[in-house]
Amino acid sequence: MKIAITGKGGVGKTTLAGLLARLLADQGDTVLAIDADPDANFGSAIGITPEALATITPISKMKKLAEKRTGAEGDGMYSLTPHVADIPDKYAINHEGVKLLLLGTVEQGGGGCICPEHALVRTLMKHILFQKGESVVMDMEAGIEHLGRGTAESVDALITVVEPGSRSIQTAKQIQSLAADIGLKNTFVVASKVRNDEELEFLQANISEATLLGILPMSEDVRKADMHNVAPYDLHGEIVEAARGILQRIEEELNQ
């Protein structure tokens, strides 16, 4: 199962990504968690300590690795399809059955040129998404920049996390439109930080029932987890059960 999760900053997408990754691992899946958000917090949502996270360098920042793998160390020419198969195992950090890989973003110069780091990250994403027998949970920034027509067909589900509010809903609609443009067929929405019936009714009125996978309630456990540097999953609260129901719904949708 390959799941990509996106949404505006602060809506709870990383919390959902962490919950789904841990749930998949606990049900016996081999799980690769990809942090593709510049504001990298996926590791803490999984439960990795700040000390361990400090030892990880995003792949997009490994300039020497990119130059070596693409052959850019020589005359300036380089391969657009470097060898990447060993990168997830070599550079990921493991926690509770989840392998975390920090992808990061590539800062490009003017003109949209493709640099060795960009070639490395793009090829790595294709390899990860085409790889069989592994569940992937990808925490993205508020968009689908890491996905393209060459990889969209390998993503089983794109989930946009929204909170009760017009701007969040508008972002979700824009993302779904972009997803349709590149051929992503299974696009869904998860509502987060829902506090009462009024907010629930607002979301239900603005999101198609067919695409709404479920609701993550406003949870005190998330705040506590952040204060104590633990994963929300490890507090075993209601938000974990809500995420379990969302995962079950994803599986049902993909098996139709």
Q: What is the mean pLDDT of residues 10-26?
A: 96
Domains identified in the chain, total number: 1
Backbone phi, then psi, for 158, in 5-degree steps?
-110, 120
The rounded percent of the chain whose pLDDT value lies above 90 is 64
Domain enclosing residue 49, as ranges: 2-254
Between 254 and 113, residue with greater pLDDT: 254
Could you report the per-residue pLDDT of 85-132, keeping only the tens digit for each?
999 999 999 999 999 999 987 655 444 456 888 889 889 988 999 888
Alpha-carbon Rg for the chain, nearest whole angstrom, is 18
Helix axes 238-254, 220-227, angle to 10 degrees: 110
Could you report the per-residue pLDDT of 41-54, keeping only the tens digit for each?
999 999 999 999 99
Q: Which two tokens stand for residue 136?
A: 């992937």
Return d(Cα 148, Cα 11) in angstroms, integer.
24
The CATH number of the domain holding residue 105 is 3.40.50.300
What predicted TM-score, i.e. pTM, was given to this entire model? Answer: 0.92
| DSSP β-bridge partners for residue 36 | 140
Backbone phi, then psi, for 217, in 5-degree steps?
-70, 155
Which pLDDT does position 112 carry in this prediction?
47
Residue 73 pLDDT more than 90? Answer: no
Q: What is the mean pLDDT of residues 53-71?
A: 91
Which pLDDT does position 111 carry in this prediction?
41
Could you report the per-residue pLDDT of 202-248, keeping only the tens digit for each?
999 999 988 999 999 999 999 999 889 899 999 999 999 999 999 99
Report the DSSP pairing between strands 31-36 and 135-140.
Answer: parallel
Q: In what order do the strands lie in the sheet with 157-162?
A: 93-95, 98-102, 31-36, 135-140, 2-6, 157-162, 187-194, 212-217
Q: What is the mean pLDDT of residues 64-78?
A: 81
Q: Which two tokens stand for residue 200?
A: 């629930």
Between 91 and 153, residue with greater pLDDT: 91
Q: Which amino acid is at 21?
A: A
Which pLDDT does position 106 carry in this prediction?
60
| DSSP β-bridge partners for residue 157 | 3
Q: Counting every residue, how long is the chain? A: 256
Q: Which helix (H) or strand (E) holds 101?
A: strand 98-102
Return d(Cα 87, Cα 29) in angstroms, integer.
20
Between 169 and 153, residue with greater pLDDT: 169
The rounded percent of the chain whose pLDDT value lies above 70 is 95
